[in-house]
Amino acid sequence: MADASQRKRRALQHLRPFLRVRQPVLDPVERRLGRALTIRDLRDAARRRVPRAVFDYVDGAAEEEVALSRARALFRDLEFHPSALRDVSTVDVASYPLGGRSDLPFSLAPTGFTRLMHHDGEVAVARAAAKAGIPYSLSTMGTTSVEDLRSAVPAGRRWFQLYLWRDRDASADLVARAMAAGYEALIVTVDVPGPGARLRDVRNGLTFPPNLTPRTLADMATHPGWWSHLLAGEPLELASVAEWGGTIAEIVGRMFDPSVTLSDLEWLRSLWDGPLVVKGVQSVADARDVVSAGADVVQLSSHGGRQLDRAPTPLRLVPDTLDAVGDRAEVWIDTGVMNGGDIVAAHALGARNVLVGRAYLYGLMAGGTRGVERAIEILASEAARYMKLLGASSLSELAPSNVRLP
């Protein structure tokens, strides 16, 4: 009997290290975000947190969504070629867009209607970006003004994204306000001469602000938190737009100017004395033209696949664009980025900066500022891991030979 008791005691002693009880996480946001290991996990959490029309506005693209699926497929199907026997005991993931340090190899892209996704909107995103030491771009179609964002988040690198309106005086006024508010760079988007056919938005009847219809009233029952913040908070409005309201396509059709040409880009260059980024370039010929017109950065972008469906895939354009513009301009990229390995691949091919949009919006919908922080954390850790496994201790050690495109 004594031997049996001793064996039981020894067994309990051996088991004790395995019997640690994990403390329950009482905060539902922390619990939700803690379960998210990838951006796709955040996407799943976001889908459950917000009305379908809001989720689909973020998640969707134009027409059959071919451009978006091709962009993601190219990132997924590329082949990495690591360099062995390299010292990667420490990995520096810092990047230097526009010559300034960013602590991570990506920036946060401009997005419109951001307080639809979460009541803190652009302020939540800018706070997360400043905390991570990376740039954030405020959109013309944002729900926070250039001045209010600066006041709410005085730290960090801020860029301003501009759509040229039919009213050129109003566009010039926005440029002047951004300059006075200390925004570092002006990002001019050139791929929206008119609205893309975002069919999910049409089918969902999405308007800004949302209309109270039988469908939205029914949605209140399943997303009461989102609706309570919307109805009790500050009025939902486009902070930089004087006249708005209606569907997204109607707002774009009324405000945006389809007659924009290179001469308008030269006009903006005369107004803005900081770095000028041209976003939405989709050909090597256009890259040459915008650099000749004064652009400091060519941003290869298909607008997240939200404008021209079956547009060129930006990642595939990087090598030829670099050959065309040489050292006259930086080359940036966006569209389809869902993983830190996507970011590393773009840098290896020569992109100076990678901008992510949907990835952080999934986090914003899932958990506000903390959700954006979690999205940044996921992408940063993935990028560092890919760099280590590729044998690169810094972005400068990545090379086109590390990546083979299908």
- 303 an active-site residue? yes
pLDDT in tens, 113-137: 999 999 999 999 999 999 999 999 9
Task: Please state the pTM of the whole predicted model.
Answer: 0.93
Instruction: For the chain, 406 residues long, give each residue's pLDDT as a single digit of tens.
Output: 557 777 767 766 766 666 666 777 778 888 999 999 999 999 999 999 999 999 999 999 999 999 999 999 999 999 999 999 999 999 999 999 999 999 999 999 999 999 999 999 999 999 999 999 999 999 999 999 999 999 999 999 999 999 998 889 999 999 999 999 999 999 999 999 999 999 999 998 888 877 767 777 777 778 888 888 877 888 888 888 766 678 888 888 888 889 999 999 999 999 999 999 999 999 999 999 999 999 999 999 999 999 999 999 999 999 999 999 999 999 999 999 999 999 999 999 999 999 999 999 999 999 999 999 999 999 999 999 999 999 999 999 999 999 999 9
In this structure, are strands 330-333 and 276-281 parallel, antiparallel, or unpaired? unpaired
The domain locations on the chain are 98-379
Cα–Cα distance measured from residue 278 to residue 260, given in angstroms and rounded to the nearest whole number = 13
Q: What does residue 326 show for φ and ψ, rounded to 5 degrees?
A: 55, -135
Catalytic residue, from 118, 119, 303, 347: name it.
Answer: 303
Fold classified for 98-379: TIM Barrel (3.20.20)
Of 335, 380, 329, 325, the closest CA to residue 352 belongs to: 329
Q: What does residue 278 show for φ and ψ, rounded to 5 degrees?
A: -110, 115
